[in-house]
């Protein structure tokens, strides 16, 4: 019942309204159930000239009316009762929709916000499909629970109780006969649907296997074709198709049993009340009006009771969804550890920094390095040497396990992340573009920017020409449904959107990898020209680009193996030198 407690939390601020929903439901049942009694009064008192044996206060409304007027008045009164009942029903539906909608809106927003604030490392490994499932269909399940299922069951219960009370006030023994089959009808539904739940999921699984087979085929269609395997594939699909068909049909047959058996139960209930009520009415034990009221009541209860069993079995799903959502909330968000904020000069120091990802081998070991403001540092190293990790420590996207990263002599952990990250800006190797226009993608981080700055940044990123070639220029839609940019174009958009923020420290994390060497070098030259006193870190394999930087760090096995300028490194024996040689000394080996 943990789920209910969580649901209660999500309902905060809307509990009273939700409670009112049930009051409205009760009122709707009550007024709706009075209508048959008015019909009974019209028949017994108005036409039959007898006294009404039911609710005296209701009969009192019709005192001192002649028969003709009583019939008219009764007819109008019955419309009024249904209208009042309808009004409460309207309130019930509307309020429950409001509560369900507000609650799911709140859950959706909280989920979104929570996901935004999880730490960087979580998002390198998150399973998008699963998370989206939790944020959408699980929320929908809860919404459906609040707006429909809980309401159905709630008003069903009120309906049963109110009917029982009203019936009992008319005639207790007949009440017994009128209610006799209902418990069986309810239990039958509840037990049946609990039992076939497994079959429902088995059918769902068969459907899933069918889709899986289909998807496998479509994804591998080139192989299927290349090996002329259409017949084999058709046969395989047919097996799954038959399996799904047969399982669905099996389920349908069971449902056919359910509906026909419960139909017999309904008929028996109606039959019992008509036989007994008719007998007693004929014998004068009850009035004709009373009998008609009983007939109507039984008719009104049949459907809700029939459905209640099924609804109850489906309510379990909401609890499962609540748990799945709670699991997302239970992932700890990134913690804010600092409050320090001011303009950054750009002095960076790594002091005895070591780092390892959760449960993995160390990536960085005891890194020491000091970089002055305005310095341009290149980082080179084999795959997996920790280059990218090292620069991710600067905007505190990761925190070192040991040692300290100092920015202007202040520990990165003491900076307010907003202040730190808006000045230490990193451009990632893999560019994520939002499904908006190019312009909006560039100004993502700084929407209030002047147009002039947009152009300067795009020029610096050598993107101007690309944009001019698009028909809609800056307004071209990118991402899903828009134009597809090449890897190099995407990287340049990422650089432009970094530059537009006028960072104090620029980090280019292997973001020239899809840009040709010459353009890469040009972009770097542009950045140098425009950001004279800005500290720049550049991670790249392109040695021709590194030639231009102030200092090169060579990272091997998690440590700095060599550092120095191009001239210094070229004189020694190191990774940089070896790559430089490959690039610049013509191959002397015999190519034949």
**Interaction between residue 399 and another protein (CB under 8 A):** no
CB of 586 to another protein, least distance (A): 8
Cβ–Cβ < 8 Å for 134, 127: no
Provide the pairing of β-strand 551-556 with 535-539: unpaired
Q: Is 414 exposed, middle or buried (0-12, 13-18, 19+ CB in 10 A)?
A: middle
For another protein, which is the closer residue by CB, 104 or 311? 104
| Number of residues binding to another protein, judged by CB under 8 A | 143
Q: Which of 338, 354, 500 is nearest to 408 (CA)?
A: 338
**Interaction between residue 43 and another protein (CB under 8 A):** yes
CB of 394 to another protein, least distance (A): 11
**Interaction between residue 89 and another protein (CB under 8 A):** yes
Cβ–Cβ < 8 Å for 466, 476: no
Q: Which residues pair with 507 in a beta bridge?
A: 426, 537
Of 9, 124, 352, 518, which lies in the binding site for another protein, with binding defined by CB under 8 A?
124
Helices (H), 425-565: 438-442, 451-460, 464-469, 487-499, 517-530, 543-546
Of 175, 311, 417, 545, which lies in the binding site for another protein, with binding defined by CB under 8 A?
417
Of 386, 395, 400, 520, which lies in the binding site for another protein, with binding defined by CB under 8 A?
395
Q: In 372-513, which ranges are E strands? A: 376-380, 402-407, 410-411, 424-427, 505-509
Q: Restricting to residues 500-519, which ones interact with another protein according to CB under 8 A? A: 501
Q: Which of 255, 258, 293, 243 is nearest to 273 (CA)?
A: 293
Cβ–Cβ < 8 Å for 38, 74: yes
Of 1, 198, 218, 450, which lies in the binding site for another protein, with binding defined by CB under 8 A?
218
Q: Restricting to residues 143-162, which ones interact with another protein according to CB under 8 A? A: 147
Q: Restricting to residues 319-378, which ones interact with another protein according to CB under 8 A? A: none
**Interaction between residue 10 and another protein (CB under 8 A):** no
Of 194, 268, 326, 366, which lies in the binding site for another protein, with binding defined by CB under 8 A?
268
CB of 96 to another protein, least distance (A): 8
Tell me 340's DSSP state: B
Cβ–Cβ < 8 Å for 378, 552: yes
Of 291, 301, 505, 549, which lies in the binding site for another protein, with binding defined by CB under 8 A?
291
Of 12, 172, 222, 529, which lies in the binding site for another protein, with binding defined by CB under 8 A?
222
Q: In 168-228, which ranges are E strands? A: none
CB of 22 to another protein, least distance (A): 15
98 contacts: CB under 8 Å, gap ≥ 6:
14, 17
CB of 288 to another protein, least distance (A): 6
Q: Rounded to whole angstroms, how far apart are CA atoms 377 and 548?
A: 10
Total residue count of the chain as it appears in this document: 592
For another protein, which is the closer residue by CB, 5 or 471? 471
**Interaction between residue 189 and another protein (CB under 8 A):** no
**Interaction between residue 409 and another protein (CB under 8 A):** no
Of 17, 168, 428, 453, which lies in the binding site for another protein, with binding defined by CB under 8 A?
428
**Interaction between residue 545 and another protein (CB under 8 A):** no
Tell me 164's DSSP state: H
Of 15, 123, 342, 571, which lies in the binding site for another protein, with binding defined by CB under 8 A?
123
CB of 347 to another protein, least distance (A): 21
């Amino acid at each position: 019942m943990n789920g209910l407690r969580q649901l209660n939390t999500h309902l905060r601020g809307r509990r009273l309204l939700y409670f009112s929903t049930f009051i409205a439901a009760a009122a709707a049942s009550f007024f709706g159930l009075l209508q048959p009694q008015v019909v009974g009064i019209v028949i017994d008192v108005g036409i039959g000239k007898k006294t009404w044996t039911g609710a005296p206060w209701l009969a009192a409304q019709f005192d001192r009316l002649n028969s003709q007027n009583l019939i008219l008045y009764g007819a109008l009164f019955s419309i009024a009762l249904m209208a009042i009942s309808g009004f409460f029903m309207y309130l019930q539906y509307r309020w429950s929709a409001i509560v369900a909608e507000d609650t799911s809106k709140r859950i959706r927003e909280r989920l979104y916000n929570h996901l935004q604030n999880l730490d960087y490392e979580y998002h390198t490994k998150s399973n998008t499909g699963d998370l989206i499932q939790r944020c959408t269909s699980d929320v929908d399940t809860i919404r459906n629970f609040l707006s429909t299922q809980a309401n159905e069951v709630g008003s069903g219960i009120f309906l049963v109780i109110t009917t029982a009370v009203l019936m009992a006030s008319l005639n207790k023994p007949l009440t017994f006969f009128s209610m006799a089959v209902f418990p069986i009808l309810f239990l039958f539904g509840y037990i049946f649907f609990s039992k076939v739940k497994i079959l429902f999921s088995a059918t769902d699984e068969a459907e899933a296997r069918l889709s899986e087979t289909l998807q496998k085929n479509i994804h591998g269609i080139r192989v299927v074709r290349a090996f002329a395997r259409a017949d084999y594939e058709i046969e395989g699909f047919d097996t799954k198709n038959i399996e799904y068909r047969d399982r669905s049909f099996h389920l349908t047959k069971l449902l056919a049993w359910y509906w026909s058996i419960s139909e017999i139960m309904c008929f028996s209930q109606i039959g019992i009340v008509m036989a007994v009520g008719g007998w007693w009415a004929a014998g004068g034990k009850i009035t004709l009006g009373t009998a008609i009221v009983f007939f109507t009541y039984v008719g009104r209860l049949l459907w809700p009771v029939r459905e209640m069993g099924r609804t109850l079995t489906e309510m379990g799903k909401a609890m499962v969804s609540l748990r799945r959502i709670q699991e997302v909330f239970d992932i700890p968000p990134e913690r804010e550890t600092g409050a320090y904020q001011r303009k950054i000069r750009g002095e960076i120091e790594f002091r005895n920094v070591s780092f390892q990802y959760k449960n993995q081998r160390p990536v960085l070991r005891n890194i020491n390095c000091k970089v002055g403001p305005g310095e341009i540092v290149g980082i080179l190293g084999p795959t997996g040497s920790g280059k990218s990790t090292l620069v991710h420590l600067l905007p505190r996207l990761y925190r070192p396990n040991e040692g300290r990263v100092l920015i202007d002599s202040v520990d990165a952990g003491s900076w307010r992340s907003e202040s730190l990250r808006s000045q230490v800006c990193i451009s990632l190797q893999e560019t994520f573009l939002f499904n908006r226009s190019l312009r909006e993608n560039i100004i993502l981080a700084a929407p209030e920017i002047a147009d002039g700055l947009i152009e300067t940044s795009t020029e610096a990123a050598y993107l101007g020409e690309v944009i001019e070639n698009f028909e809609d220029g800056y307004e071209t839609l990118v991402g899903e449904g828009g134009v597809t940019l090449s890897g190099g174009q995407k990287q340049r958009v990422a650089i432009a959107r970094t530059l537009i923020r006028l960072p104090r420290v620029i980090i280019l994390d292997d973001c020239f990898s899809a840009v040709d060497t010459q353009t890469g070098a040009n972009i770097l030259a542009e950045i140098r020209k425009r950001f004279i006193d800005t500290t720049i870190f550049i991670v790249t394999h392109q040695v021709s680009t590194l030639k231009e930087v102030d200092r090169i760090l060579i990272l091997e096995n998690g440590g700095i193996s060599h550092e120095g300028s191009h001239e210094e490194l070229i004189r020694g024996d190191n990774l940089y030198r070896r790559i430089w040689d490959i690039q610049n000394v013509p191959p002397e080996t015999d190519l034949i």
